[in-house]
Amino acid sequence: MAVPGNIKGVFEVHKKLGKLPLNVVAEPAIHYAEHGLEINDFQAYCLQLLKPIIFASPEARIIYAPNGNLKKSGEILILKDLAASLKNLVAMGEEYFYAGDIAEKIIQDCREHGGYLTREDLQNYRVINRKPLTINYRDYTIITNPPPSAGGILIAFSLGLLSSISFTGIKFGDRKHLQILAEVMHLTNQARENEYHQVCPGELSANHNLQFYQQKLNNVVNKWGSTTHISVMDGEGNAASVTTSNGEGSGYMIPGTGIMMNNMLGEADLNPNGFHQWQDNQRISSMMSPTILLKNGHPEIVLGSGGSNRIRTAILQVISNLVDWQMPITDAITSPRCHWENYQFDIEPGFDLNDLATLRLPNNTKSRLWQEKICFWGCTWSSKNSEWDDIRGRG
Provide the pLDDT for residue 205. 52
104 and 201 belong to one structural domain: no
Q: Is the pLDDT of residue 314 over 50?
A: yes
Q: What pLDDT digit, counting tens, does each position of 37-92 carry?
A: 999 988 898 899 899 999 998 999 999 999 999 999 999 999 999 999 999 999 99
Position 368 scores a pLDDT of 85
Domain shared by 141 and 69, yes or no: no
> 201 and 94: one domain?
no
Three-state SS for 64-95 is HCCCCCCCCCCCEECCHHHHHHHHHHHHHCCH
Q: Is the pLDDT of residue 147 over 70?
A: yes
| Window from 98-112, 278-292, 347-361 with minimum mean pLDDT | 278-292
Give the residue with greater pLDDT, 311 vs 255. 255
Give SS3 for 12. Answer: helix
Alpha helix segments (H runs only) across the chain: 6-17, 22-35, 41-49, 51-55, 58-64, 80-92, 95-98, 101-113, 119-124, 150-162, 175-195, 207-223, 310-323, 329-334, 353-356
> What whole-number percentage of the chain has pLDDT above 90?
36
pTM over 0.75, yes/no: no
169 and 108 share a domain?
Answer: no
Catalytic residue among 144, 227, 243, 313: 227
What proportions of the chain, in percent to the nearest 5, are helix, strand and coil?
45, 15, 40
Is 330 annotated in the active site?
A: no
Question: What pLDDT does 246 receive?
Answer: 83
Cβ-proximal residues to 294 (8 Å cutoff; 6+ apart), any chain: 140, 141, 142, 143, 300
**What residue numbers bound the domain in which 316 lies?**
133-236+286-389
The string of pLDDT tens digits covering residues 321-331 is: 999 999 998 89
The domain total for the chain is 2
Region 145-151: mean pLDDT is: 80
pLDDT over 70 at 342, yes or no: yes
- Average predicted confidence (pLDDT) for the chain: 82
Give CA–CA dist 265/153, Å, rounded.
21
How do residues 163-213 score in pLDDT, each as one tens digit? Answer: 888 888 888 988 888 888 888 888 888 877 765 444 444 455 555 566 666
Asked if 139 and 123 sit in the same domain, the reply is: no
Q: Where a domain ends, among 73, 107, 129? A: 129
What is the enclosing helix (H) or strand (E) of 338? Answer: strand 338-341
35 and 69 in one domain? yes
> Does residue 273 lie in a domain region?
no
Let me know whether 150 and 125 are in one domain.
no
Domain presence at residue 253: no
Q: Please say which residue of 72, 102, 129 terminates a domain.
A: 129
Q: In this structure, what CATH number is given to the domain that contains residue 300? A: 1.10.246.130
pLDDT in tens, 242-271: 888 888 888 899 999 999 998 888 776 666
Where a domain ends, among 129, 152, 174? Answer: 129
> Which of 305 and 355 is assigned the larger pLDDT?
305
Residue 379: which pLDDT band, with cuts at 50, 70 and 90?
low
